[in-house]
Amino acid sequence: MFKAFLIKYAEIGLKGNNRYIFENALRDRIAGVLKPLGTYNVYKEQGRVFVECPESYDYEETVEALQRVFGISSICPVAVIDNSDWESLTEGVGDYMDAMYPNKDITFKVMAKRADKNYLLTSPEICKEMGAYLLKRFPGLRVDVHEPEVRITVEVRSKSYVYSIIIPGPGGMPVGTNGKAMLLLSGGIDSPVAGYMISKRGVSMAAVYFHAPPYTSERAKQKVVDLAKAISKYTGRMKLFVVNFTDIQLDIYEKCPHDELTIIMRRYMMRIAERLAEEENCLGLVTGESIGQVASQTMHSLASTNEVCSMPVYRPLVAFDKNDIVDIAKKIDTYETSILPYEDCCTIFVAKHPVTKPNLKRIRNSEKRLEEGIDEMVDTAIENAEIIIID
Ligand code: ATP
Ligand code: MG
């Protein structure tokens, strides 16, 4: 029945002269997600992107893939009418109606758009004449222009397209149209959601994970790789840096007050993430922090981890309750992986009573105890970072 999809996009439409950049990015991203599924023809035409499907394809699978492409506001499975002369058009729309709605005891309304302004009828005329044709062909039908059960839309272009199903897309903007950011990706619930949200605004992602073997296991690392794979279904290809943090962590553990461990550790994570971000031409860092969620995320703690980097740090979850974050995690399919019970490197070195209002001066002072050797450890950690390409 459906040989093609008509893709509508929203915010891209606002972009004035840069519009083609957004449209091309959207087209390329759609082509990218569909490529593994078959030979689709993806092209843009006057404010729309069209997807022509191969002879045999999986409808559900295709729709699911499209629902992960940021920038799409809706996905309309369409029947294509090759010849747009009036007779072919009415007949084609009638056949569509017949196939889609075997029971004709329904109310309907025809909506029309014509890209071809030279078409022999205007849009209102198309609606009126098409309605009359359908009523005549299927006597059970009734017109209801206010609240019809079925809205049949006909778009007349070089070919014509008819649809009555509108599937919501994810919204947002095409990935890659808004620069790149470095996501601090842990194995938890929050950071994958944070990456998803920033990416939804058109930002492509790189990610960094800090692990501390042997205190954290290979399974914990694999969990992060799996999370990166899960979000890359939305963000596209992603470079994941796995940084060995053990020596740094042990050094902090040895020399600094234990109630400040988490904060100081987080400050070193931010510093390293920023260095990697610079190397990768990223314009910001992204974390899954949310005010007050844990001791290291009070306003005081955030101020203290924030001061070590000069790059903007984006915290899309900053005002979210955990429940709301969990809802998104479930929606994007990261939740089940996130709750697997593998230790993360923060839980092993946490103090029983971490400071909740770290004093910046004290923290800076404590860090002075690390002076001998820490810079070299940081350099080594960065140089030896393992790079995993998530595709
Ligand atoms: P998450 O659910 O994302 O793990 P969390 O509630 O466990 O967050 P924290 O452990 O305080 O919170 O971490 C706060 C943020 O710091 C995380 O959202 C993540 O962006 C970053 N982060 C924490 N641990 C790591 C790690 N091992 N590797 C990379 N980033 C990390
Ligand atoms: Mg965590």
Say how many Å lie between the CA of residue 288 and the centre of ligand 1: 6
pLDDT band at 338 (very low <50, low <70, confident <90, very high): very high
Q: Are residues 298 and 379 in the same domain?
A: yes
pLDDT tens readout for residues 309-325: 999 999 999 999 999 99
Say how many Å lie between the CA of residue 186 and the centre of ligand 2: 6
Question: Does a structural domain hold residue 158?
Answer: yes
Question: Does a structural domain hold residue 173?
Answer: no
Tell me 260's DSSP state: G
Closest ligand to C-alpha of residue 325 is 1
Average pLDDT over residues 352-356: 81
Of 15-19, 162-166, 218-222, 309-313, the poorest mean pLDDT is in 15-19
Average pLDDT over residues 215-231: 95
Percent of the residues in the chain that have a pLDDT greater than 90, as a whole number: 82
pLDDT tens readout for residues 240-282: 999 999 999 999 999 999 999 999 999 999 999 999 999 999 9
Q: Are residues 210 and 340 in the same domain?
A: yes
pLDDT band at 344 (very low <50, low <70, confident <90, very high): low
Q: Are residues 142 and 279 in the same domain?
A: no
Cβ–Cβ under 8 Å, residues 276 and 208:
yes
Q: Are residues 133 and 22 in the same domain?
A: yes
The domain that holds 262 is classified in CATH as 3.40.50.620
Question: Does a structural domain hold residue 174?
Answer: no
Cβ of residue 316 lying under 6 Å from some atom of ligand 1: no
Q: Which atom of ligand 1 is nearest to the CA of 262?
A: 11
Question: Does a structural domain hold residue 216?
Answer: yes
Please provide residue 148's backbone torsions phi and psi, each rounded to the nearest 5 degrees.
-70, 150
Number of domains in the chain: 2
pLDDT the model gives residue 294: 78
- Nearest protein Cα to ligand 1, atom 30: 184
Cβ–Cβ under 8 Å, residues 390 and 225:
yes
Question: Does a structural domain hold residue 189?
Answer: yes
User: Which two three-digit tokens encode residue 380?
Assistant: 């080594």
Q: Are residues 134 and 194 in the same domain?
A: no
- Out of 168, 197, 215, pick the residue that ends a domain: 168
Query: Distance between CA atoms of 120 and 371, rounded to whole angstroms?
Result: 80
Cβ of residue 93 lying under 6 Å from some atom of ligand 1: no
pLDDT at 345 over 70: no
Question: Does a structural domain hold residue 378?
Answer: yes
Say how many Å lie between the CA of residue 74 and the centre of ligand 1: 33
Q: Are residues 280 and 144 in the same domain?
A: no
Cβ of residue 228 lying under 6 Å from some atom of ligand 1: no
Q: Which atom of ligand 1 is nearest to the CA of 344?
A: 27
The domain that holds 68 is classified in CATH as 3.30.2130.30
Cβ of residue 297 lying under 6 Å from some atom of ligand 1: yes
Average pLDDT over residues 62-82: 95
pLDDT at 346 over 60: no
Q: Are residues 103 and 223 in the same domain?
A: no
- Out of 102, 134, 168, pick the residue that ends a domain: 168
Say how many Å lie between the CA of residue 83 and the centre of ligand 1: 57
Q: Are residues 71 and 119 in the same domain?
A: yes
pLDDT tens readout for residues 94-131: 999 999 999 999 999 999 999 878 888 999 999 999 99
Q: Are residues 317 and 376 in the same domain?
A: yes
Higher pLDDT: 117 or 12? It is 117
- Nearest protein Cα to ligand 1, atom 24: 186
pLDDT tens readout for residues 73-102: 999 999 999 877 899 999 999 999 999 999
User: Which two three-digit tokens encode residue 83?
Assistant: 């010849």
SS3 state of residue 77: strand
Strands 160-163 and 386-390: unpaired
Query: Distance between CA atoms of 207 and 186, rounded to whole angstroms?
Result: 10
Contacting residues for 20 by C-beta, under 8 A, at least 6 apart: none
User: Which two three-digit tokens encode residue 186?
Assistant: 């842990």
pLDDT tens readout for residues 181-216: 999 999 999 999 999 999 999 999 999 999 999 989
Testing ligand 1's pocket by substitution, the residue of 182, 183, 189, 190 carrying the most ligand atoms inside 8 A of its CB is 190
pLDDT the model gives residue 88: 93
Q: Are residues 86 and 206 in the same domain?
A: no
Mean pLDDT of the chain: 93
- Out of 130, 148, 168, pick the residue that ends a domain: 168
Q: Are residues 105 and 223 in the same domain?
A: no
Q: Are residues 154 and 197 in the same domain?
A: no
pLDDT at 37 over 90: yes
Query: Distance between CA atoms of 171 and 224, rounded to whole angstroms?
Result: 26
Please provide residue 225's backbone torsions phi and psi, each rounded to the nearest 5 degrees.
-60, -40
pLDDT at 11 over 70: no
pLDDT band at 348 (very low <50, low <70, confident <90, very high): low
Contacting residues for 332 by C-beta, under 8 A, at least 6 apart: 192, 193, 196, 230, 231, 234
Query: Distance between CA atoms of 153 and 131, rounded to whole angstroms?
Result: 11
Say how many Å lie between the CA of residue 78 and the centre of ligand 1: 44
Q: Which domain holds residue 32?
A: 4-168
pLDDT at 15 over 90: no
Element (H, E) at 25: helix 19-34
